[in-house]
Structure 1
Amino acid sequence: MITYERAFKVHAVKLSYDRGKGQLACLARQLGISSDSLYKWRKDYEKFGKRSFPGSGHPNLTSEQAVIRDLERKIEDSKITLEILKRGTKYVSQGKIATKNFIENNKSEFSIAKMLSVLEVSETTYYRTKKQELTDTESRVLLLKQEITSIYYEFNRRYGCFKITRELQSRGFKIKNSSVKKYMRLLGLRRIVKRKYKVTTDSFHNDYVVPNVLNRQFTVTEPARAWVSDITYIQTTKGFLYLTIVMDLFDRKIIGWCLSTKMNAKETSLPAFEMAVNNREITKNLIFHSDRGVQYANKLFSDKLSSYSCITRSMSRKENHNDNAVAESFFHSFKTELIRGNKILTRKSMRVEVCDYIENWYNKRRRHSFLEYKTIEEFNKFT
């Protein structure tokens, strides 16, 4: 039976309030718990508030009982603190090894965390001093847990167990995905999950459309042979921003992008394409693929593409999002890794976040499953 930490339960309950009762079953699946557990946690939290989920062997108390219990604990804690100081202060002055030995000799009576806190010894110093006495297995597990936690927060909670495994392997660790999954569960580390979003394609127009030349051939062997483009929306405190991207299918790099407050071609598809051309030279025949949205089918954008004799246009079939699956996949990652879990930002702040995500994260540091979990820079370096 899996035991969940109080912080996780409170987080789950608060998420359920944000989603509403109609989304509880879906939320439970995303969190990996049963619907019954989530309903029970909500009921307990509504009844006891901050005193809910006290843990096994600690029943919920009335307000008066909680005050008394709290006072008793504080008195007991003060006694323990005084006793640790009386016994351990002299060892601290003798150095790290003497302090470590004192902690080891008294850990059956006092918790290690309490002794470290009272004696003002950092956990890092204690374990570094103690490390030589750990078994090889214990040392390896401790190091792995520290490294997994470090990677999890280094990449802003965007990595799940698969990508953390690949990152560990790239740093010289020999470890399987199943082990990383187990340690992440024990550490309470969960990848942030996606938020649903609406489609921005307006294909109901009288502009010219072209056939699906790309025909879902999403793997190419050279740069600038096939580009895909799409548009999505981002909610801000003052309305929406619209993100247009152009991706090269060769290495999945976002070579052109644009944020706008309007949906016309002049502010979406056109500047994104112009950035792409500036960032990656077209030297051979290129397929430019998009959906049938008016931003791509209108005369302004069509004329721009027609000015390049080596570009062949391609459009998804009507109401068939799989024809532009790679661009859709990018927006899935974008929404999951940047938008979900963050507060709604101002337009100015969101522009900064999007730029950082694309230029510093996605194009440089993110590991891509399509690239065998290499970063784009690693892939291009060894290609």
Structure 2
Amino acid sequence: MEQRNPRSRRHLCKLLGYSRQACYKQIKTEERSRMESGLLLAEVARIREVQPRAGGRKLLHMLQSYIREHKLKIGMDAFFELLREHDLLVSGRKRRVPRTTVSSHPYYKYANLVKGLTPVAPNQLWVSDITYIRLREGFAYLSLVTDAYSRKIVGFELSDRPSAKGCLTALKMALADNPSRDGQLIHHSDRGVQYCSGAYTGLLQGHRIAISMTQSGDPRENALAERVNGILKGELLQKRYKHHRQARPLIRAAIRIYNDDRPHSSINLLTPTSAHQGKGELKRLWKSRYKRDKEKEATADK
């Protein structure tokens, strides 16, 4: 380690017009600042190992007891500057996500048949949707068919493209696993090209299944499918998979957990597989945020 020369330091202080005492004090202050920064950065790294998306404000809040314990002094602006200098700020920009619904196409778009409809038995209403799964490089696309009464995922397929082929495979699985369907079954989806294609609508019509589609881009028109996507991706599919082959068996396992093990508050805390065996009204133990907001608005207007 290079030894500091006191004589050169005195000479430097003289050139800058500072006394030796002031110069030494400044050096000591800088050394302490570097030490404090190192302590904070080490603790930030420890927190980020568990919570990689923790932002600056949250980090500073979590560090308060550590700062007091080590008698550190740092404000919010200085802390954000420290994170910025070491490229540790969490970007607020939205990540690029693939488009799964393309509704600008020449195929016929069907009317919405399910407004106000509440199924009271399995296989009265199926809802379909496509969601993306992040891979290490790129995306895979998960096509789902869900029974609206039981919340059971009755058909699914993981594809490397958001084409009609994956949707058709998921629908064929649902049809094969539910051969006995009492009464009229309705299939509801968005107006994406996959669901409007001749192959897909032809398969539905061949099995005498009524076709229903959303009439706008409002996600509430296909809210159940959106909810299922959210549960799978938010609770069971948080890992980023290396490639399509690795993702396929793990997604199959996640769907089995969703269907067989996870109780749902929307079906009286039954699992979807259990609910799919019965019929009759199922008690919902939660209220949607949209309905809560509407009720608050109505109360406020009184």
Q: How many residues align?
A: 215
CA drift of 1:40 comes to 5.8
Correspondence for 2:161:
262
Between 1 and 2, higher relative CO (CA 8 Å, sep ≥ 6) is seen in 2
TM-score by length of 1: 0.50
The reply on whether 1:365 has 2:265 as its aligned counterpart is no
Query: Between Structure 1 and Structure 2, which shows a larger proportion of helix residues?
Result: 1
In 1: Cα distance, 2:125 partner to 2:229 partner: 18
The reply on whether 1:215 has 2:125 as its aligned counterpart is no
Is contact 2:130-2:143 (8 Å) kept? Answer: yes
In 2: Cα distance, 1:308 partner to 1:381 partner: 22
CA drift of 1:347 comes to 1.6
Is contact 1:216-1:324 (8 Å) kept? Answer: no
In 1: Cα distance, 2:277 partner to 2:156 partner: 23
CA drift of 1:299 comes to 1.2
CA drift of 1:332 comes to 0.6
Correspondence for 2:75:
none
Q: Give the one of 87, 95, 105 matched to 1:205.
A: 105
Is contact 2:103-2:191 (8 Å) kept? Answer: yes
CA deviations on 1:200-246 (whole Å, 9 max, x unpaired) are 111111111000011153x3111111100000111213432110011
* Paired letter, 1:346: H
CA deviations on 1:308-348 (whole Å, 9 max, x unpaired) are 23x110001121211100000000111101233x2443222
Q: Partner of 1:362: helix, strand, or coil?
A: helix
Give structure 1 regions of 4+ aligned residues with deviation exceeding 6 angstroms: none
Within 5 Å, which residues of 2 pair with 1:234-253?
234-253=133-152
* Paired letter, 1:214: V
Correspondence for 1:312:
210
CA deviations on 1:36-87 (whole Å, 9 max, x unpaired) are x523657x9xxxxxxxx75875657xxxxxxxxxxxxxxxxxxxxxxxxxxx
In 2: Cα distance, 1:11 partner to 1:378 partner: 43
Q: Partner of 1:258: helix, strand, or coil?
A: strand
Within 5 Å, which residues of 2 pair with 1:38-117?
38-39=59-60, 57=69
In 1: Cα distance, 2:211 partner to 2:277 partner: 30
Could you tell me which runs of 5 or more consecutive residues in structure 1 were left unpaired when the two chains were aligned: 1-7, 26-34, 45-52, 61-194
Question: In angstroms, what is the RMSD of aligned CA positions?
Answer: 3.1
In 2: Cα distance, 1:196 partner to 1:374 partner: 36
Q: Partner of 1:273: helix, strand, or coil?
A: helix
The reply on whether 1:351 has 2:236 as its aligned counterpart is no
* Paired letter, 1:345: K
* Paired letter, 2:149: F
Evaluate the alpha carbon distance shift between residue 215 and residue 352 of structure 1 in structure 2; reply closer, same or farther with a 3 A threshold.
Answer: same
In 1: Cα distance, 2:202 partner to 2:150 partner: 27
TM-score by length of 2: 0.63
In 1: Cα distance, 2:277 partner to 2:104 partner: 43
